[in-house]
Amino acid sequence: MRSLIRPETILTLDDQDRVIANGAILINGTTIEQVLTAGELTALPGNDYTTVDAPGLVAMPGFVQTHVHLCQTLFRGLAEDVELLDWLQRRIFPLEAAHSPASMYASARAGLAELIRSGTTTIMDMGSVHHEEEVVRAVTESGIRAFLGKAMMDINDFHPALRESTKNALDSTLKQAQLWHGSANGRIRYAVAPRFVLSCSDSLLKEAHAMTRSFPGMLFQTHASENRHELQAVRARCGMDNVAYFEALGILSDVTCLTHCVWLNDREVDLLAERRARVLHCPSSNMKLGSGIAPVPRYLERGISVSLGADGAPCNNTLNMFQEMRLAALIQKPLHGPTVMPARTLLKLATAGGAAALGLEREIGSIASGKRADIILLDLSRLWNRPVSATADDLAVSIVHSCGPTDVHSAMVDGEWLYRDRVNLTIDMTAARHDASRELHALLSRAKIL
C-alpha cells in the first residue's frame, strides 16, 4: 500500500534541514520510502501508488510531547490559581482518586482528540494509579504513538486511595509492561512512572528504574524539582536536592526522563549532562502553577536533552504544542535577551528533540526516508500566519509564533490518517464530548470536593 503526498512545501527538519518546494513524500505502509524533490518527482517511475494532493499545505513531522497526563483532561479548569502541593493535595489527588473506568476512558479520549487535532503524533503519558487499561484502550483506538505507564505511589498521606504497597505498585507495573510494551503494532511502549520523590519510597524508585533493564526501549519517567516548597520537603526527607538524590539512589541514567527540572543546583546540572538524563520541559505548567523558569538555555548549552510537553489540562489549560513552543521561547527572552531560543530551536525541541528524549531518533522526528510516516499538514496560507518566504527560518517563525491548532489540516501516524481535512477519523468527537460531560458530572459527585 503506497501513497504519494504532494504538499506545496516539505519542512523535513532532517539533518540538513531541507525545505522542499513542490516535492512529494512516498509512503509505503507505515514508513517513508522516499522524500522527493520536484525534479525527482517528475522522474518517479510507475503509478502503483495513490496520490494525495495537498496544495497550499506545509508537511512537517508530527509534534512529540514527552509529558502529558491524559487522566487529568476532565479536570481542566478545576484547580485554578494554586501552587503545586495544594494543587495536588486539594484538587488533583481527590479527582484522580474518584476516577472510574468509564471516566478514565472519557478523560483519555478527550485529551487524545485535542492532541491529535493540534498536530501531536507522539506522547509520553503519566497515568494515574488505577484504570491504566482504559488509557491504553483509548490510546490504541486513537492511533497515536505513545509511551505510557501507570503512576506509582507508595507514599500518600492525603489520599490513601491512590497509595499502594511498594510490592503492589511494582507488581502491577511489571504486569502492565509485559502486556503493553510493544503493543498496538509497536506504537505503544511502556515507561515506568514513579510519580515524584514525595510520593515514592527509595526502594520503589530504585526498583522501578531497575525494571527498565528487562525491557529494551523502556523508559523511566518522574517529576523532579518543580517547585520550591516541594524541594524544601525533598530536602527535609532526603537531606539533599532532588536530582542529587536520584544520583545517590543510582537512578540517573539515559533512560531517566525528568519532568520540570526548574530548581537545580550547579552540580545537578553537571549530573544531568554526565548521566545523559533527559529534561521534559513544560513551560505553561511552570508559569501557571507559579513554579518558576527552567534554565533551558543552560541545559541546551550543556548538550542536555530537552523536549516539550503540555503537562495536564488542569495546569495549562490546553494540550497544544504551538503554545508550548512559543512560551518556551518567550519565558527565556526577558532573562537572557531576544537572541536566545530562536524559532528553529523550538521546532527542533518539539520534533527531533522529543524523538531523541524517547530513544526514537531513528524512527521519528523528521521527514526522511526510512522513518515512520508520522506527518502533519499545516495550512500557513491564512492572513495571520503567512510566512514571508518558505525558508526554514521563516517557516519556523510562523509555526512557532503565529500558528495555532486550527491551522493543523491533517495528521498521520504510521502512514494512517488520524485527522484529515480537520476531521478526526479515529475518534468520534460527538460521542467523546457527551461522554466527557457525563463522566465529569458523575466523577465530581463521587469526589465531593467542589
Q: Site residues (CB under 6 A) for ligand GUN?
A: 69, 84, 88, 92, 195-196, 223, 226, 285, 311-312, 315
Q: Nearest 5°: CA angle at 44, between 40 and 48?
A: 150
Distance of closest approach, residue 60 Cβ to ligand GUN, in angstroms: 28
CB of 72 to ligand GUN, least distance (A): 7
By beta carbon distance, the residue nearest Fe ion is 311
Residue closer to Fe ion (CB basis): 311 or 407: 311
CB atoms within 10 A of CB 388: 10
| Chain residues in the site for Fe ion (CB under 5 A) | 311
CA distance 194 to 152: 4
Question: Which residue in this structure is represented by grid cell 510507475?
Answer: 46
Whose Cβ is closer to Fe ion: residue 198's or residue 408's?
Answer: 198
Q: CB nearer to Fe ion: give 111 or 387.
A: 111
Answer with the entry of ligand GUN, Fe ion, none that 125 interacts with (C-beta below 5 to 8 A by kind). none
Which is nearer to Fe ion, 230 or 311 (by Cβ)? 311
Helix (H) or strand (E) segment spanning residue 242: helix 242-249
Least separation, in Å, of the C-beta of 257 and ligand GUN?
Answer: 14
Residue 315, contacted partner among ligand GUN, Fe ion, none, CB below 5-8 A by kind: ligand GUN
Residue placing its CB nearer to ligand GUN in the complex, 197 or 367 = 197
Q: Which residue is nearest to ligand GUN (CB)?
A: 223
- The residues, ordered by sequence, that sit 6+ positions from 111 with a Cβ below 8 Å of its Cβ are 68, 70, 72, 73, 313, 319
Specify burial of residue 183 (Cβ count, 10 A radius: 0-12, 13-18, 19+).
middle
From ligand GUN, Fe ion, none, interface partner of 294 (C-beta below 5 to 8 A by class): none
Residue 419 contacts which entry, Fe ion, ligand GUN, none (Cβ below 5-8 A, type-dependent): none
Question: Whole-number minimum distance, CB 3 to ligand GUN, in Å?
Answer: 39
CB of 312 to ligand GUN, least distance (A): 6
The CA distance from 23 to 313, in Å, is 38
Report the partner that residue 196 touches, choosing among ligand GUN, Fe ion, none (CB closer than 5 to 8 A by kind).
Answer: ligand GUN
By a kind-dependent CB cut-off of 5 to 8 A, residue 131 interacts, out of ligand GUN, Fe ion, none, with none
Residues whose CB falls within 8 Å of the CB of residue 432, separated by 6 or more in sequence, listed in order: 106, 109, 110, 113
Choose the one of ligand GUN, Fe ion, none that binds residue 6, judging by a C-beta under 5 to 8 angstroms depending on kind.
Answer: none
Distance CA 125, CA 375 (A): 20
User: Minimum distance between the CB of residue 69 and Fe ion, rounded to whole angstroms?
Assistant: 6
How far apart are alpha carbons 359 and 441 in whole angstroms? 39
C-alpha dihedral sign at 95, 98, 100, 102:
negative
Contact between 274 and 254 under an 8 Å Cβ cutoff? The reply is no
Q: Shortest distance, CB of residue 244 to ligand GUN, whole angstroms?
A: 18
Cβ-based nearer residue to ligand GUN, 131 or 195: 195
Alpha carbon separation from 388 to 242, 247, 347, 395, 421 (Å, rounded): 45, 48, 18, 8, 25
| DSSP code per residue over 75-137 | GTTSS-S--HHHIIIIIIHHHHHT--HHHHHHHHHHHHHHHHHTTEEEEEEE--SS-HHHHHH
Q: Which is nearer to ligand GUN, 25 or 191 (CB)?
A: 191
Among residues 189 and 223, whose Cβ is nearest to ligand GUN? 223
Q: How far is the CB of 153 from ligand GUN (least distance, A)?
A: 9
